[in-house]
């Protein structure tokens, strides 16, 4: 199970999918969902250099633009702070009996952060992102 998420540092809105694998097909499925969810917005998504972030994504969606982060720079990826937050607040010192239990807890955690926009802004609102006027 893999979680795909985007977070807007300016308003704290987030969008996530839980998918069974990570590859170019599932990445495309997720970005299609992002494009539909935020159809009235122009989205800029920072990507790491994962092999499944294929060049075909870069021109596929009218309202989504992708910027590749430099290699080996997770500190620049604002979404990394989302994972730290979820690990600390929802998975710290917990055991699960089944993978379904893990997924259920993950759904609850993602819903919680989706509604906690102030926390998402504080976790992801790096000055170098929020100071840009677009």
pLDDT score of 69 more than 80: yes
pLDDT at 53: 74
pLDDT at 88: 93
pLDDT score of 56 more than 80: no
Q: Token digits for 82?
A: 């989302």
Element (H, E) at 14: strand 14-19
Instruction: State pTM to two decimals.
Output: 0.82
pLDDT, tens digit, for every residue of 12-28?
889 999 999 998 888 88
CATH at residue 31: 3.30.420.10
Q: Mean pLDDT across the stretch 84-106?
A: 92
Distance separating alpha carbons of residues 131 and 30, to the nearest angstrom: 27
Distance separating alpha carbons of residues 54 and 115, to the nearest angstrom: 31
Counting the structural domains of the chain, the total is 1
Task: Note whether 6 and 67 are within 8 A (CB).
Answer: no
| Domain region containing 82 | 2-130
User: How do beta strands 43-47 and 64-68 pair?
Assistant: parallel
pLDDT at 57: 66
């Amino acid at each position: 199970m893999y979680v795909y998420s985007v977070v807007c540092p300016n308003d704290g809105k987030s969008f996530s999918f839980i998918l069974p694998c990570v590859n170019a097909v599932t990445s495309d499925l997720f970005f299609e969902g992002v494009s539909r969810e935020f159809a009235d917005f122009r989205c800029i998504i920072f990507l790491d250099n994962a092999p499944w972030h294929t060049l075909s994504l870069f021109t596929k969606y009218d309202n989504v633009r992708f910027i590749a982060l430099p290699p080996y720079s997770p500190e620049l990826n604002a979404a990394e702070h989302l994972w730290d937050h979820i690990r600390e607040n929802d998975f710290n010192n917990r055991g699960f009996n089944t993978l379904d239990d893990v997924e259920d807890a993950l759904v609850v955690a993602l819903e919680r952060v989706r509604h906690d926009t102030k926390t998402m802004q504080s976790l992801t609102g790096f000055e170098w992102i929020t100071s840009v006027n677009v």
